[in-house]
Structure formats: structure tokens, C-alpha cells
Amino acid sequence: PVAVEECPQAYDHGLAAGYIEGSTVEADGARYRCNPYPYAIYCKSPLYRPHSKQTDNWRDAWQDLGPCFIATDAPTSKPTRMQTSDPTNGPTSTPTDKPSKRPSMPPSMRPSASP
């Protein structure tokens, strides 16, 4: 599996003059890093917008780092297998497919009617 990182701030042509070597931006669902000197100067020009459909000149300025995801607070329509960065401290109503590391109840001294 390929790790997909969260997207950095979206490319903004109004901020282009501030992009420097190593700056990372998002464009069209992918991450891009401003190339090192002497190519970094092109990152400052909106004509070299990452993933421009008008020209391939953007490749002189930006390195394509691959896809990224845009974090939202809204729930997704399908479950994912990504680990949460904010685990719960107690039980939830969502079942898991793995057993817990310790029993949820202390053992009883009497057998139960069902397993």
C-alpha cells in the first residue's frame, strides 16, 4: 500500500511570489514541491502553476510528490482502513474485527447458559 499524506495548502496564484525552494502546495488532488535553485525562481510565476493543463513548463518549477487527501470534518461515505489519529478512551458503538487485549468483564465462577 502507498501512504497518502494530507494535502498542504492549495496553490494560490496570489501568493506565488512567496513560493521558495521546498515550498509544498496542493493542486488537483496532488502534492507538489518547489524545485531547488536555479529552478525555484519559476515557482514564483503563476505561468508555472503546478499541473497546469496549458503547458508542461510547470515541471521545471515543481516536483510531483503524488496524490494527497484533503482532510474534512464531515464523515466519509465509505469506511476506510486508515488509522485514526484520535483514538477513543472508552467503548464505542462501532464493533471491531479484532478481539480486545483484555477481558471486558471479570470471569464468573458459574458457567453461563450460552458461550
User: Model confidence over 21-66: pLDDT tens digits?
Assistant: 999 999 998 999 999 999 999 999 999 999 887 788 999 999 999 9
Please give the pLDDT value at position 95: 66
CA atoms of 96 and 108, how far apart (whole Å): 24
Please give the pLDDT value at position 33: 97
Please give the pLDDT value at position 4: 73
Query: Phi and psi dihedrals of 5, rounded to 5?
Result: -90, 160
- The residue assigned the cell 453461563 is 112
Say if residue 1's pLDDT is above 60: no
Please state, as a whole number, how many other Cβ atoms lie within 10 Å of the Cβ of residue 38.
9
Please give the pLDDT value at position 69: 84
pLDDT in tens, 66-113: 999 877 666 667 766 666 666 666 666 666 666 666 666 677 777 777
CA atoms of 40 and 102, how far apart (whole Å): 55
Please give the pLDDT value at position 55: 81
Comparing CA positions, the residue from 62, 71, 7 lying closest to residue 32 is: 62
Say if residue 3's pLDDT is above 90: no
